[in-house]
Amino acid sequence: MNPFTPSAPAPFASAPGPTVRAVHDEFHGDLLEVSMGPQHPSTHGVFRMVATLDGEQLVKLKPVFGYLHRNHEKIAENTTYLGSMPYTDRLDYLCSMSTNWAYALAVEKLAGQAVPERAQYLRIIMAELTRLVNHSCLVGFLFNDLGTSFTPLLYAFREREKIIDLFEALSGSRMMCNYQRFGGCRVDPTPEWLAAAQQLVDNFPRFLDEYERMLTGNEIMLARTQGVGRLDATHAINAGITGPVLRASGVDYDLRKVDAYGFYAQFDFRVPLGAHGDTYDRYMMRILEMRESVKILQQAFKRLPAGPIMDPKAKLRGFRPKAGEAYGRLEGPKGELGFFLISDGSPNPYRYRVRPPSLINLTLLEEMCLGHTIADAVVILGSIDIVLGEVDR
Amino acid sequence: MSAASLTDSFLERAPLALRDWVVNFLPAPLQWLGHHLITIIAVLAVFGTFFAFTTIAERKLLARLQNRLGPNRSGLPWIKGLTLFGLSQPFADAIKTLTKEDIVPAAADKCLHFLAPVIVVAFSLMTFAVLPFGRHLIPVELDAALLYFFAAGAATELAIFMAGWSSRNKYSLLAAMRALAQLISYELPLILSVVPIVLVTSTLSTQGIVLAQGGWTFGFLPHWFVFTPWGFPGFIIFLVAALAESNRSPFDLPEAESELIAGHLTEYSGFKYALFFMAEYFGLTALSGLGVTLFLGGWQAPIAALQFIPSYAWFMLKLIGMLVFFIWIRGTLLRLRIDQLTRLAWQFLVPLALLNVGNAAFWILTSSWSGPLQLIRWAVSLAIIVIPFILLGRTLTAGYAPRAYRYAP
């Protein structure tokens, strides 16, 4: 049975069973249609939700996006392969390192390009640091949506800034790192940088412990998030949802394990799984994944080999892959981040397509929100983790 | 020094002496008017300044709770390099809001839209009239002071509803609905938490309640109501309800910025916005002042030996303590959802407050018990409140618990 046909029963038993009634009703009063966004403090950018409210309860919710559309894919088809690399930074502007890597992965697959060992380790270090940046920002913003006056967010930003400073020291830019190249990385970190990064990673669990001690067990936090925005595994799989949102629903699907791209097969880490698929599980997935990322980073720092960071045969300028197509994907902090490329042998890709996890995770927003209140809708949106640069492209 | 000389010491009487001195310049038939006007001006001036410095204190304290510095740049005009830790920030804020354009939405009910900020400030200021700031300092000696306070305090919520309704904005309307739900839910525990005090002191006069809390055991254990088994739960219920009444986090639903943008303030700008802001702080200060008066001994000194410090200084110190507590709460807690908010009031605070009234009645009945019976009195009184607290608290958080997580095999 396809649950997305209109005749399917209301998908979520946990929701109090919303029934959309007529907008005008003599007895119950009118429904209220509120357009939340594109200018709204908690739609995380220029996202818009057209919400129909029965009192405080949502009976209909229509996500509207595209306000930040920049024609990313067409622009990439009109520029060289390397020329798109800095442009991928702007997709998910919190996680430029992973986005760079996903694009490099696709191009390397297209051109059959090898990557030296040290670069593979550096890529894992950068990707996991990016995961820490993304997840700590996310839990901070989630608490902001829950109504704290910025305190948890600023605690999270304190840690995030330290990592961002490292990125700046390495790549010259805080957020638009433009670090990965086809066949390696752009700059080799100095021993001092590595020592600083090592120290940061060693201290990171202390931040997580502090954060959890103050917030995870809080009764208001539990009451606001547990049982809110349930998403069951079947629906999540059918809608193509990936990343922590999918794992919170209990599906064991992590591309670092499934594809074992890069050198992830050599690392020892676990994939946390949720059981309820609600907002609390989605929050805890991020916290637990940060702990696993710290483990991966510590192993990577221990084993980081010496050697070149670029494959000597790699060609950046005048790069013309032979005709063909390739799909490169990795486990981004938000989910499966993929680039699909078709080459016709020219310096520009014939077709360039991004699979943005933010957009695809957003597709079930209405189903998750229905029957909850408008306050919950904001929290559910926050727990999905979207970046509008990636949703709208 | 004897107690009598302390109550009449120069510092204690100074504000009154100053007023009488000024009034004496007026012709006799106008003296009553001057008398009242000076009182009003003094309350406005003191609490207006107090409000200004509460805002900067709040911003600084919140900043410190959040790893920030807070405003620290604004100094004095034409003097470079003198920043005074940003202490002149409230004056800069005032000038900014005064010079901003006042925008009224085209579809708004212009009369109500204008009246709402005026009413909210007026009523929140009126509550100051019955607070005893010192041994001799109380603007109006009312026998039904408590009733007056709650009546004026509830009227401010009505102004919030007016603002939400007249703005012709959907967010404002939702905020207005929330404000009313919150008013109906929390006015009840707020008043019920005060009833035990009225029972015990058998007066509604605030000055009378403060006088009933005078005296010390062994000279250092003050007889404040917060140190009794019915006063402490009453104080906690009062604090929670006061947070809700003054729309402060975690009960700031009418202006929940992550959901309703600015709630009932969405369509207000410029000085009207500043008036709402001011009223919020006046309301908070007044409620804190009432809490100090009812539970924390008002202007009474905590230790007998410290009575030489004038009573109004003690009142202000306790008031600042309460405000710091409220700011701290704001920097810490998450917001409740509207159904959880009303549930907390009706299923937890109201039953507890009602039980607490019975608790106070028991306390009065057994007031003649002494010796070992005194211990039994304390134990029974505590049991009346602690056992329901635990049981009700369990039902409130039932079904919510931190979870253990599994990992993929």
B129: phi then psi, degrees, rounded to nearest 5: -65, -30
CB B160 within 8 A of CB B119: no
Q: How far apart are CA B182 and CA B186, in angstroms?
A: 6
The parent domain of residue B183 ranges over 3-68+100-393
> Is there a domain that residue B237 lies in?
yes
The amino acid sitting at A267 is F
pLDDT in tens, B310-363: 888 888 999 999 999 998 988 888 888 888 888 888 888 999 999 999 988 888
pLDDT of A182: 87
Contacts of A4 (CB under 8 A, 6+ apart): A238, A239
Among B259, B333, B402, beta carbon nearest to A216: B402
pLDDT of A134: 92
> Is there a domain that residue B320 lies in?
yes
Which residue is listed with tokens 């959040």? B66
> Is there a domain that residue B264 lies in?
yes
Whether A32 sits inside 8 A of B173 (CB atoms) is: yes
pLDDT of A9: 40
| B337 vs A contacts (CB less than 8 Å) | 223-224, 373, 375-376
- Selected residue with higher pLDDT from B383 and A10: B383
pLDDT of A26: 66
Name the percent of chain B lying above pLDDT 70.
97
Whether A149 sits inside 8 A of B334 (CB atoms) is: no
Whether B171 sits inside 8 A of A34 (CB atoms) is: yes
> Is there a domain that residue B47 lies in?
yes
Is 60 exceeded by the pLDDT of residue B376?
yes
| A254 vs B contacts (CB less than 8 Å) | 408
Which residue is listed with tokens 């369990």? B394
pLDDT in tens, A98-108: 999 999 999 98
Number of domain units in chain B: 1
Is the four-CA dihedral B331, B336, B341, B343 of positive or negative sign? Answer: negative
Q: Which helix (H) or strand (E) holds A326?
A: strand A324-332
Please report which residue ranges of B70-215 form alpha helices under DSSP H: 89-99, 110-126, 145-166, 170-201, 206-212
| A147 vs B contacts (CB less than 8 Å) | 249-250, 252, 256, 258-259, 334-335
Residue in A closest to B334 by C-alpha: A148
Please give the model's pTM, rounded to 2 decimal places.
0.85
Contacts of B28 (CB under 8 A, 6+ apart): none
Which residue is listed with tokens 């509803």? B161
Whether B177 sits inside 8 A of A53 (CB atoms) is: no
Q: How far apart are CA A74 and CA A104, in angstroms?
A: 18
**Roughly what angle, to the nearest 10 degrees, separates helices B170-201 and B231-245?**
160
Which residue is listed with tokens 């191009």? A107
Per-residue pLDDT band for B267 (boundaries 50, 70, 90) equals: confident
Q: How many CB pairs under 8 A join A and B?
A: 125
CB B171 within 8 A of CB A37: no
> Radius of gyration (Cα) for chain A, nearest Å?
22
Among A147, A149, A271, beta carbon nearest to B407: A271
Quote the tokens at residue A118: 């040290």
Q: How far apart are CA A386 and CA A282, in angstroms?
A: 13
CB A332 within 8 A of CB A94: no
| A221 vs B contacts (CB less than 8 Å) | 334
Among A219, A272, A276, beta carbon nearest to B400: A219
Whether A151 sits inside 8 A of B408 (CB atoms) is: no
- The DSSP output letter for A83 is G
Q: How far is B34 from chain A (nearest CA, A)?
A: 45
pLDDT of A205: 92
| A144 vs B contacts (CB less than 8 Å) | 258
pLDDT of A25: 65
Helices (H) and strands (E) in chain B, counts: 15, 3
- Per-residue burial over B379-395, b = 16 or more CB atoms within 10 Å of its CB, e = otherwise: eebeebbeebbeeeeee
> Is there a domain that residue B25 lies in?
yes
Q: How far apart are CA A180 and CA A328, in angstroms?
A: 14
pLDDT of A10: 43
Whether B66 sits inside 8 A of A220 (CB atoms) is: no
> Mean pLDDT throughout B381-392?
87
Quote the tokens at residue A367: 């189903």
Is 70 exceeded by the pLDDT of residue B134?
yes
Quote the tokens at residue B170: 């959907």
pLDDT of B84: 73
Is the four-CA dihedral B272, B277, B280, B286 of positive or negative sign? Answer: negative
> Is there a domain that residue B24 lies in?
yes
Angle at CA of residue B39, ends B36 and B41, nearest 5°: 110
A interface test, pick of B327, B334, B392 with most A CB neighbours within 10 Å: B334
CB B49 within 8 A of CB A134: no
| A374 vs B contacts (CB less than 8 Å) | 174, 259-260
Whether B177 sits inside 8 A of A55 (CB atoms) is: yes
| A378 vs B contacts (CB less than 8 Å) | 258-259
pLDDT of B6: 55
pLDDT of A5: 42
> Is there a domain that residue B255 lies in?
yes
Residue B80 region by backbone torsions, left for phi larger than 0, else alpha for psi between -120 and 50, else beta: beta
Whether A41 sits inside 8 A of B258 (CB atoms) is: yes
Residue A116 region by backbone torsions, left for phi larger than 0, else alpha for psi between -120 and 50, else beta: beta
Quote the tokens at residue B212: 């009933």
Is the four-CA dihedral B299, B305, B310, B313 of positive or negative sign? Answer: negative
> Is there a domain that residue B73 lies in?
no
Strand A32-36 versus strand A48-54 pairing type: antiparallel
- Per-residue burial over B207-217, b = 16 or more CB atoms within 10 Å of its CB, e = otherwise: bebbbbbbebe
Q: How far apart are CA A315 and CA A318, in angstroms?
A: 7
Q: How far apart are CA B325 and CA A93, in angstroms?
A: 39
Reduced to 3 states (helix: H, G, I; strand: E, B; else coil), residue A92 is coil
Burial of residue B100 (number of CB atoms within 10 Å: 0-12, 13-18, 19+): middle
pLDDT string in tens for chain A (393-residue length): 444 444 444 444 444 444 555 566 666 677 788 888 788 877 777 888 888 888 788 888 888 888 888 889 999 999 988 888 888 988 888 888 999 999 999 998 888 888 898 999 999 999 999 999 999 999 988 888 888 888 888 999 988 999 999 999 998 888 898 898 888 888 889 999 999 999 999 999 998 998 888 888 888 888 888 888 888 888 888 888 998 999 998 888 888 888 888 888 888 888 999 888 889 999 999 999 999 999 999 999 998 888 888 888 877 777 888 888 999 999 989 989 999 999 988 888 999 999 999 899 888 888 888 888 888 888 998 898 888 888 888
pLDDT in tens, A9-66: 444 444 444 455 556 666 667 778 888 878 887 777 788 888 888 878 888 888 888 8
pLDDT of B184: 83
pLDDT of A21: 58
| B62 vs A contacts (CB less than 8 Å) | 149, 151
The residue among B299, B36, B286 whose CA lies nearest residue B148 is B286
Among B330, B399, B406, beta carbon nearest to A149: B330
Q: How many CA atoms lie within 13 A of B13 on its CB side?
A: 10
Among B252, B259, B401, beta carbon nearest to A374: B259
Whether A147 sits inside 8 A of B250 (CB atoms) is: yes
Q: How far is B65 from chain A (nearest CA, A)?
A: 7
